[in-house]
Amino acid sequence: MRLMSSLTARAALVLLANVLMITSLGAQPDDRLLRPSPGAGTPVIPFMEGWYGNEDGSVTVSFGYQNRNRDPVLITLGENNRIEPESLGGMQPEYYLPGRHHGVFAVTIPAAMDGTTIWWHLISEGEELKVPGERGSPAYELDRNPRPQGSVQPRIGFSERGPHGVGPEGIVAEQVLQAATNQPVTLEVWTHDSSTYDSNDPRYAKPLDTRVAWYKHQGPGEVNFTAHESMPFLDTRPASPLSRNAPPQHAVAVKESTGPARVTASFSAPGEYLIRARLDNWNASDSDALDQCCWSNAYQRVLVTE
């Protein structure tokens, strides 16, 4: 009888604990990650992806973000979107697409400022979120070494002969393009993947195609990307509707990794814009969006007039 009473009491406690757990879970805020993203109203989250140590003693810190809303969010540079110290800011995005986006820009801390901690502040929906960046824990140290099958960061520039940039910090075009509102302009980058693969592996019998995707990074109006007549867009729908890594919207293939990539863009309003082109080699088996090894950014400024 006592045994039955003991078992009954334990069962009651387990049931009570389960009820309390379910009640607690049901009381969680509406913005839990496992629930569908709201259309709007959720703050954008900044991320520090990691840091590189450079040969000249400087440190490059890679940053990304997650927009948990279904709609894009605009946060202009200034008090609501700033880097501290201010002298190192200016490359952070203003336009935040839905989903998780890795390594969208980087900040290089000069050797003379070694030991400095930089902060990226974002204020959206009345909430301030900030993330630090520095030469810190080895756990966050990134590298440019080849991956198991030989993948390295591909090179991207604005002319066939260079200069080229690699990695999240990439390269910024020296020339500012001129455009008029709602008039198409061609954006072009040149690419090369210097990865060295095992020629005895049938997966790498010839150089793999790479991919270039374009994004509005900064600017006051909408940017409409259309396929250039020489390069159709790829089908870049996510493999799974549950994927948290946002696929590129406007991407083209560079055959066997070397050559030009082009897109046509038009701008809805006058002002200064910054367009980001991201080159990746994710066709390789040892390369993916979660590894900071295997893509590079290029940034093109465009001055748009009436």
Residue 184 sits in a domain whose CATH number is 2.60.40.10
Backbone angles phi, psi at 136, to 5 degrees: -120, -130
Residue 55 sits in a domain whose CATH number is 2.60.40
pLDDT for 127 beyond 80 = yes
| 1 located within any domain | no
- Answer yes or no: are the C-beta atoms of 198 and 149 closer than 8 Å: yes
- Which percentage of the chain shows pLDDT scores above 70? 84
Spatial distance between the Cα atoms of 213 and 220, rounded to a whole number of angstroms: 21
- Domain check: are 210 and 288 in the same one? yes
CA-wise closest residue to 83 among 48, 49, 41, 33: 48
Average pLDDT value for residue range 79-86:
97
- The pLDDT value recorded for residue 237 is 65
pLDDT for 303 beyond 90 = yes
- Domain check: are 160 and 297 in the same one? yes
In the chain, the number of structural domains is 2
Spatial distance between the Cα atoms of 162 and 25, rounded to a whole number of angstroms: 55
Spatial distance between the Cα atoms of 252 and 263, rounded to a whole number of angstroms: 8
- Domain check: are 161 and 136 in the same one? no
CA end-to-end distance (rounded Å), the chain: 89
Average pLDDT value for residue range 269-286:
96
| 31 located within any domain | no
Instruction: Tell me the Ramachandran region of residue 282: left when phi exceeds 0, alpha when psi lies from -120 to 50, beta otherwise.
Output: alpha
> 3-state class of 304 per DSSP?
strand
* CA separation, residue 197 to residues 39, 166, 194, 277, 296 (Å): 43, 19, 10, 25, 19
pLDDT tens-digit map of 93-108: 999 999 999 999 999 9
- Domain check: are 183 and 284 in the same one? yes
Domain boundary residue, one of 86, 111, 140: 140
Domain boundary residue, one of 113, 140, 167: 140
How is the chain split among helix, strand and coil, in percent rounded to 5?
A: 15, 40, 45
| 17 located within any domain | no
More confident residue, 217 or 236: 217
- The pLDDT value recorded for residue 88 is 97
pLDDT tens-digit map of 174-228: 999 999 999 999 999 999 999 999 888 888 888 899 999 999 999 999 999 999 9
Domain boundary residue, one of 140, 175, 207: 140
- The pLDDT value recorded for residue 113 is 95
| 145 located within any domain | no
Supply the range of the domain harboring residue 225.
Answer: 155-305
| 5 located within any domain | no
pLDDT for 273 beyond 70 = yes
